[in-house]
Amino acid sequence: MPVTTLDPKTALIVVDLQRGIVAAPVTPHAAADVVARTASLASAFREQNLPVILVRVTGRPDGTDSLRARTDASRPARPRPEGWDQIVDDLTTGDDIIVTKRNWGAFYGTDLDLQLRRRGITQVVITGIATSIGVESTARAAHEHNYQVTIATDAVSDLDPGTHRNSIEKIFPRLAETGTTAEILDLLAKHAPAEH
């Protein structure tokens, strides 16, 4: 469903825009474009005194803190370089909420839901990489936690064009509104949320 509105209490959730992930080749939007569009959304949310939540995935370099062994035998685990899990510089400010996860989605095993509920958040806008992994898992959990969900379709990208397309065309319309960064910025400007 196309994006129609933003609740007065909306938060931006940025999924896995960190050094090691944005270095991977993604499609259909270059990682630099996803970061730039997300940065423009983050700036607008901050101007409205709305929360920006930067989610990062991390774990031990050897993967021993993973919940279970990898099931994708075609992609062996490689050692992660130093700093791979640091959020990209273009997005970091001292006032944002940082959520650290060890799973695909940003809700399970983190305090994300608590952070949102304490602030009275009713809607989330989600950006990030990869569309079909961290973004979709987070969007599904947000929907299950009864948040209104909006996906910035040009601020998400994936390692695989087919899985990206499936998320955008088949999954997100069932649980979220979707719109471009410009459409979301326009709604944010037109419907400035109430004071906190």
Using the Cα atoms of residue 29, residue 31, residue 36 and residue 42 in order, give the sign of their dihedral. Answer: positive
Contact assessment for residue 189 and residue 44, using Cβ atoms and an 8 Å cutoff: yes
Q: What number is the average pLDDT over the span 12-35?
A: 95
Task: Give the pLDDT score at 54.
Answer: 97
Q: What number is the average pLDDT over the span 144-148?
A: 98
Superfamily of domain 10-56+85-189: Isochorismatase-like (3.40.50.850)
Strands of 52-57's sheet in order across: 97-101, 52-57, 10-15, 123-129, 148-157, 177-179
Per domain, the residue ranges of the chain are 10-56+85-189
- Dig out the tokens for 114 from the structure: 């608590």
Q: pLDDT tens digit string along 158-190? A: 999 999 999 999 999 999 999 999 999 999 998
Those residues with Cβ within 8 angstroms of residue 170's Cβ, 6 or more apart along the chain or in another chain: none
For the entire predicted model, the pTM comes to 0.90
